[in-house]
Amino acid sequence: MAMETPEGAQSRIAELEKSIIRHQDLYYNGKPEISDAEFDSLWDELSVLAPSSPVLAKVGEDAADGFPKARHVLPMGSQAKAADSDEFIAWCAKVRLAEYIVEHKLDGASLELQYEAGLLCRAVTRGDGIVGDDITQNARRMSGVPASLPEAWSGAVRGEVVMSRATHRQWFQDKANCRNAANGLMKRKDGSGAERLEVICYDVAPSGMYDEVPGGLFVSSPEPPFDDELSKLAWLRRAGFIVLEALSFVEPFEVVDYRARVMDSRESLPYDIDGLVVKARMVDIDDMKRARPERQVAFKFPLEEATTTLLDVEWSESGATYTPVGIVEPVRLAGTTVRRASLANTNTLRGMGLRIGSRVVIVKR
C-alpha cells in the first residue's frame, strides 16, 4: 500500500478541518446533514492526523441573529463520546474513577441561567462555549425557570431546553422531532411557543468558581455543595429547578447493564434521550475548563438503522471540498423523515458499488 505524502496529509487535514467546522455549524443551528457517527469519524481522523489542530479545541456554535451577546459563568464545552461498550470500558480504564455518576443524555439545546442576588438576570445559549445569545425574555416563559430563588444566591445553572414528546405530538407534528422544534422556538424573536418548552437542569456553580485568579498557580477547590455532582442536584431541586435523575455505580459493567435497561424502556420516557452522561462524582475545576472534559463521557446508544432506496446523488460543495449526498426514498428513522444521507466521499461511493436504485441502509445516531 502506498504511503501518504506529507502534502497529501496536509491536504486531508485541511479538508477535515473545513468539514468539521461546517457540520458543527449545521448541527448547532438545527440543520444537520450527517449523523453523529459520521461527524465523530471526521473528528477521530483529524485527532490522529493533527492532534494539535485548533479546530479540535473549538466548541460548536449556535447562532441567533438579533439577540444580544452575553458571557458564560459556567464552562460550556462539549463531551467526549463512547459509541459502544468497548469504548466506554476503555474510557473507564483511562480515568479510573472510584464512582460513576450516570444521568440521561437529553436530546435538546443547552442553556445557562444566570442569577444575581437570587433573581434571574440572563438566560444564555451555548454559543461558542464562552459567549452565547441572551434569550432571557423567551426563557422566562419556559417551565422550570424560576424567576427568583429561595436565597440571595449569585451564580449560574446549566440545563437543557427540551420539548416533551406529548407536546410534539399535539402541537408540532410538522417538525421532524422534538429537538428541532425546541431549537426553533427558543430563538423566536417574538417568544411565541416558548411556553411549551421546559428546562431540565444538571449543573450549577456560584459566581467566581471558574474565574481565573490573576497570578495564581493553582485553582482553588470548589466548596460544598458545589464540589459534588449529587449534592449539586439536591441543591437545584431545593431551589425549585427541574432536575435529572442521577444514579451512582461503582463498577463499569454496572453502567453497561443500566444502559441496556434504559435502551429497552426509553420509548416510554416523556423526553427524547440519545444516551447516558457518565461523570466523576467530585468536581474538577481544571478538567471542566477543557473544551472536552476528560472526566465525563457521553455513552451513546447503538446506531439506529432503516432500509431504503437510493434515488439520486448530489454534490455538496464546501470550498474546494465536494461531498456526495445520496437522495433516498423517504424513510422514518429516530423520529425524523430522512430524504438525504451523506455518502462520506468518492472512495466510499465506489467501494460500495452504489447505483441508482440500490437498496441502502441508512444509519443515524
C-alpha 317/C-alpha 311 separation (Å) is: 20
* Total number of domains in the chain: 3
The verdict on 93 and 223 lying in the same domain is yes
Residue 44, pLDDT score: 74
Residue 316, pLDDT score: 78
- Residues tagged active-site: 105
Residue 294, pLDDT score: 94
C-alpha 115/C-alpha 109 separation (Å) is: 20
Residue 2 lies in a domain: no
The verdict on 177 and 308 lying in the same domain is no
Cell triple for 239: 431551589
Residue 4 lies in a domain: no
Residue 1 lies in a domain: no
For residue 128, the domain's CATH number is: 3.30.470.30
The one-digit pLDDT tens for each residue of the chain (365 residues) are: 333 446 677 888 888 888 888 887 776 665 666 655 567 678 778 877 888 888 876 655 555 567 899 999 998 888 889 988 999 999 999 999 999 999 999 999 999 999 999 999 999 999 888 899 999 999 999 999 999 999 999 999 999 999 999 999 999 988 878 988 998 899 899 999 999 999 999 999 999 998 865 444 444 678 899 999 999 999 999 999 999 899 999 999 999 999 999 988 888 999 999 999 999 999 999 999 888 899 999 999 877 777 888 899 888 777 777 778 889 888 877 666 788 888 766 666 676 677 888 887 777 64
Report pTM.
0.74
Residue 29, pLDDT score: 64
For residue 21, the domain's CATH number is: 1.10.287
Could you tell me which of 219, 221, 225, 163 has the C-alpha nearest to residue 194?
163
Residue 340, pLDDT score: 84
The verdict on 118 and 14 lying in the same domain is no
Q: What's the domain range around 50?
A: 9-58
Domain boundary among the residues 256, 272, 300 is at 300
The verdict on 74 and 200 lying in the same domain is yes
The verdict on 290 and 146 lying in the same domain is yes
Residue 111, pLDDT score: 97
Residue 4, pLDDT score: 45
C-alpha 225/C-alpha 222 separation (Å) is: 8
C-alpha 103/C-alpha 27 separation (Å) is: 23
DSSP, collapsed to helix, strand or coil, labels residue 326 as strand
The verdict on 126 and 265 lying in the same domain is yes
- Cβ atoms of residues 365 and 37 within 8 Å: yes
Residue 61, pLDDT score: 56
